[in-house]
Structure formats: structure tokens, C-alpha cells
Amino acid sequence: MQEIADRLKRVEDNIASACERASRAVEDITMIVVTKTASIESIKEVIRQGYTHLGENRLQHLKQVAKEVAEFLEAGADDPSLVDSVDWHMIGHLQRNKVRSVLKTTSFVHSVDTLRLAEEISETGEKLNITPNVLLQVNCSEEPQKYGVPVGAAIHLAEQITTMNNIRLVGLMTMAPLTLNKDIVRSCFVRGREIFEEIKDEGHVDKEFKHLSMGMSQDYKIAIEEGATILRIGSAIFTDNKITRRI
Ligand SMILES: *Cc1c(COP(=O)(O)O)cnc(C)c1O
């Protein structure tokens, strides 16, 4: 489990350097630890290290892991060094018929990209008597196979979401393309940042709209330089391999 602590330290060091380059404060960055490839023992170690924001992209796995983590925290309730609870983030594509189940487990949904999904979340929120926190997923790379609202429709969808009762729009999420070309990655994040700012200016959102979720293991340093406030990092923490291969 020492490797987990070492890799967390390395990521934290990289975050600090990127913040310094960008004249930003490390406190303004939240790291979500993406657990989709991790063993439960590794996840427990991350929690012991004090991390409380965890992310999953598939509902089945989310439910299973969230249950095991809850049991772990329950068993350690008397341990003052252990946190009381964690926040789960749904970061993957979400089908409307899964909304109820996801809302019961998560604190944030990062993948809202259609009007109908937003409506379903608001209606379900009303039934459950909650106001779920959501981020608008924007397809900044404009790859046809990617999820996310198209760039040109993002501001309008944000506006529509703000008119709904039981849904709270707290930010924007985007993913860079699967490429090692840093210029392409950077321009995608720049665009994400621009749309984020435009929504702030024109989207009828309030001050709760403040999160810019972008940056994964391969590109989080660039994301910090371009204004990310939330990073979603998995393999840099859980995978031994220094060179993570992307499909
Ligand atoms: C898997 C995943 C991540 C984390 O990716 P890594 O490359 O393992 O850091 C971040 N965001 C989303 C949406 C993911 O599915």
C-alpha cells in the first residue's frame, strides 16, 4: 500500500508545480480519485490518506464499491484518523432509467448532456426531495463518438437547466481527446474554460456555478494551467505502469 501513498504524493507534487506555474492556489483544486480500476484495498488506502471525493463511471460498479466503502467507514467509526463519509461523483454516461439509483448514491453527477436527462434528474430529485448537484458535460473536442452536449448548444442547455426546480447546476465537465498531442489537449481545455466563462456571464447561473471539471491522469497538469478546479484522476494513482496506454 506504500505505492498508493507514493503515487498520491507524486500527483500532489505535480499539482503544486502546475499551480505555481499558473499562479493558482492548490486549495482551489479538488482531486476526485477515480476508483474504476482499483481494488477495494487500494481504495481504502486512498481514504486513509484523507481523500474524500471518489468517482466512478459505471452505475453497477459505483453501487458495489460505494457499499464496501460505507461498510469500511462504518467499521472504523471509532477511529478518529478516518473520515466519516465520502462524496461519490458519477462521471460516466448516464441513462435516464438509471437516474434514481445514481442519485441515491452520489453527491455530484458530471455527465449531464441532454435536456431530457436533466429533466429526469429534476423530476426524480423532486420525488426524492433532494436537489442534485450536476455538471454540464460539453464535448469540447467535437469528436462525434464522444458524449457531451455540442459546443454550440451548451449555453442554451445550461440556461434551460437553471429553470428546473430540483437540479443545481454547479459547473462544467469536459474530456480532452485521446491523444498525446499536448496542443490539441490544451485547445480543448481552453475551449472548456471559455464556455464555462460564457455560461457564467450569460447562462443565468448563480454563484454555485463554479466548478470546471477537466483533467485526467495524462493531462491534469495542462488542465490546471487552463483553469480546472476539479481533476478526475485514476490510473496515475492505481496503476503501476508509468506509461498508461490509451485506446
Ligand atoms: C476513467 C475516467 C477518468 C480517469 O482517467 P485516468 O486516465 O485513469 O486518470 C476521468 N474521467 C472520466 C470520465 C473517466 O471515465
Extract long-range pairs of 28-33: CB within 8 Å, 24+ residues apart: 28/229, 29/224, 29/228, 29/229, 29/230, 29/231, 30/229, 30/230, 30/231, 31/230, 31/231, 31/233, 32/89, 32/91, 32/213, 32/230, 32/231, 32/232, 32/233, 33/233, 33/234, 33/237
Interval between CA 156 and ligand 1 midpoint (Å): 27
pLDDT in tens, 109-165: 999 999 999 999 999 999 999 999 999 999 999 988 889 999 999 999 999 999 999
pLDDT in tens, 20-49: 999 999 999 999 999 999 999 999 999 999
- Which residue's CA is the closest to the ligand 1 atom numbered 10? 232
Global pTM value: 0.95
Interval between CA 79 and ligand 1 midpoint (Å): 31
How is residue 148 annotated by DSSP?
S
CATH 3.20.20.10 fits 2-239, yes or no: yes
Which atom of ligand 1 lies at the shortest distance from residue 236's CA?
9
Other C-beta atoms within 10 Å of 15: how many?
20
Among 15, 34, 91, say which to mutate for ligand 1: greatest number of ligand atoms within 8 Å of CB.
34
* C-alpha cell of residue 166: 430540483
Q: Is the model's pLDDT at 204 over the cut of 50?
A: yes
Extract long-range pairs of 118-123: CB within 8 Å, 24+ residues apart: 118/157, 118/160, 118/161, 118/164, 118/167, 119/164, 120/96, 121/166, 121/167, 122/164, 122/165, 122/166, 122/167, 123/166
Q: Is the model's pLDDT at 212 over the cut of 90?
A: yes
Interval between CA 129 and ligand 1 midpoint (Å): 30
Interval between CA 163 and ligand 1 midpoint (Å): 30
Interval between CA 39 and ligand 1 midpoint (Å): 16
Contact status, residue 149 vs residue 157, Cβ threshold 8 Å: yes
* C-alpha cell of residue 239: 496503476
**CA 75 from centroid of its chain's CA atoms:** 27
At which residue does the C-alpha cell 452520489 appear?
Answer: 106
Which atom of ligand 1 lies at the shortest distance from residue 34's CA?
4
Among 57, 113, 185, 239, say which to mutate for ligand 1: greatest number of ligand atoms within 8 Å of CB.
57
Contact status, residue 100 vs residue 136, Cβ threshold 8 Å: no
Contact status, residue 117 vs residue 161, Cβ threshold 8 Å: no
Interval between CA 61 and ligand 1 midpoint (Å): 14
In the predicted model, what is the mean pLDDT of residues 193-217?
95
At which residue does the C-alpha cell 490509451 appear?
Answer: 246
Within 6 Å (CB) of ligand 1, which residues are found? 34, 36, 57, 91-92, 175, 216-218, 232-236
Residue spans of the domains in the chain: they are 2-239
Q: Is the model's pLDDT at 182 over the cut of 60?
A: yes
Interval between CA 233 and ligand 1 midpoint (Å): 6
Type of residue found at 127: K
